[in-house]
Amino acid sequence: MSSALFRLLKPRVPELVLLDGDTIRAVFGGDLGYREQDRVIQIKRLQKLAKVLSDQQLVVIVAALYSHPELFAWNRQNFQDYFEIYLEISLDTARRRDAKGVYALSAPLEAANVVGVDIPWHVPSSPDLVINVDNPPPPDTLARQVVAGIPRLASLLVRA
């Protein structure tokens, strides 16, 4: 979904940057595992990178799977125009989709390092926008829904 959002916005917002958790993980050489403490380090990397880019007047989309109240609080304190989007999905739907095979691998294991299985999922307490993606529309349509839900960007769709 973040790629569709980026494709939709980039022609209208040239200063847009996408930081995808998997991409950034690869950029750092895959030096982190998937234990909860590794996930916290990964999110902090994304936060710091986003902050550096934001401070240079770039618009940053961060796509990541992990949530913790302290991390969200840091975002709200450190980004002037922070806008949090929670793509809500049930664990059953995530298991059914399982594009990377993560949930299938975790089934027989007690400690699989999977968010929502043995790593707690903290539902964001005050996201700016919540979209349930249990039965999502196509990615391009979902991207338009996200943009329409962000007051600062919604006017861009009128010009599209």
pLDDT in tens, 80-135: 989 999 999 888 887 787 676 666 655 555 557 777 677 778 889 999 999 999 99
pLDDT of residue 100: 67
CATH number at residue 135: 3.40.50.300
Q: Does the pLDDT at position 140 exceed 80?
A: yes
What domain range is 74 assigned to?
Answer: 2-158
% pLDDT > 70, the chain: 88
pLDDT of residue 158: 65
pLDDT of residue 138: 95
Question: DSSP alpha helices (H): ranges in the chain?
Answer: 2-9, 21-27, 36-55, 69-78, 91-97, 102-106, 139-148, 151-158
Q: Does the pLDDT at position 48 exceed 80?
A: yes
Number of domains observed in the structure of the chain = 1
Q: Between 139-148 and 2-9, two packed helices, what is the crossing angle to 10 degrees?
A: 70
